[in-house]
Amino acid sequence: MTRRVLIVTHGGRPEAVAAMSEAVAELESAGFEVTLHDDDLAETFGDQMSSTRVHEGVAESEIVMVLGGDGTILRAAELTHGTEVPLLGVNLGHVGFLAESERENLHDAVRRVAAREYVVEERSVVDVVVHRPGESEPVTGWALNEATVEKARRERMIEVAIAVDERPVSSFGCDGVVLSTATGSTAHAFSAGGPIMWPDVDAVLLVPLSAHALFSRPLVIGPRSEYTVDVLARSPLPAVLTCDGRRSIDLPVGSRVQVRRGAVPLRFARLVHAPFSDRLVSKFNLPVIGWREAADDAAARRAAWHATDQRDKEA
């Protein structure tokens, strides 16, 4: 049976083109049939790699390999959303929080995919329903990282009301509101002062942006609850809803946005079984020297205590 891999990358970046060339050659050597998602890359590689087909090819793929940063991974997520096909990110960007491997480990990533040495992890998304005045049918959307309600123009704030499970919580003027998954808690929500949530936390986070209010703290709700954000009639500006920074919906004054945990998760291929705390330290370059020194001291004390205890028993 033919094994297939779909590759998604940023065709305009030279480093992405170089990584693409290496990945395609190694995957084909391992017996895979490789599909390229981007037409511009197809033109680049068409004369060099005759076995490379160019089409969407998601449903036929065993895995989708993404060569790029978090933005490219979010683009690839649009292809796999609603399917069983996992994503594997190889970071060519800066932080690359969603990526599983780094550029220098591309060869090992291909080897482990070929050997099926990976596990599949599910990540929750948020589902979005938008009701706009004068429209009988709602507009729907989804996001892996966050859905953000923001002012459509710079000059003034928007006025919003927040509710949870159809019960009012607060209203205020603000630049916007971020509604984030646990996965997205390290992205826009984190920059706005929200907490970091471990990926297995089944919750949805709300973080106000520059709110003019005494109570504007982040909120976290469980998987069966729902946020409602109303763009109030007194708001001097319309707003816009943006999902993962990629898909936008205009929000006239009087619009209502409902956000809850999505029913269908996204799937990611994981090569490393290290805890999320290690990823956090690595990606944010957090200082942990003091903790490691303390751990070494504790280990030394335990070893000394054990040696003393042994001598006492022998005596």
Domain boundaries, the chain: 3-123, 126-263
Query: How large is the average pLDDT for residues 96-102?
Result: 86
CB within 8 A of 171, min separation 6: which ones?
Answer: 159, 160, 161, 162, 232
pLDDT of residue 84: 93
> Active-site residue 40, yes or no?
no
Token pair 């990945």: residue: 23
Residues near 44 by Cβ (< 8 Å), separated by ≥ 6? 11, 17, 20
pLDDT band at 224 (very low <50, low <70, confident <90, very high): very high
pLDDT of residue 289: 80
269-288: per-residue pLDDT in tens?
A: 999 888 899 888 888 888 88
Using a pLDDT cut of 70, give the percent of the chain over it: 86
Catalytic residue among 70, 175, 230, 244: 70
> In whole angstroms, what is the distance from residue 38 CA to residue 51 CA?
16
pLDDT at 248 over 80: yes
The pLDDT assigned to 294 comes to 52
Kindly give the pairing relationship between strand 53-54 and strand 32-36: parallel
> Which element (helix H / strand E) includes 29?
helix 14-29
Question: Is residue 247 over pLDDT 50?
Answer: yes
The whole-number average pLDDT for the span 188-198 is: 96
Q: How far apart are CA 159 and CA 211, in angstroms?
A: 10
pLDDT range class, residue 15, cuts 50, 70, 90: confident
Rounded distance between C-alpha atoms, residue 168 and residue 162, angstroms: 6
Round the average pLDDT of the chain to a whole number and report it.
87
Domain 3-123 CATH (choose: 3.40.50.10330, 1.10.1060.10, 3.40.50.40, 3.40.1260.10): 3.40.50.10330
CATH number of 126-263: 2.60.200.30
Structure tokens at 138: 């709602």
- The per-residue pLDDT for 56 is 52
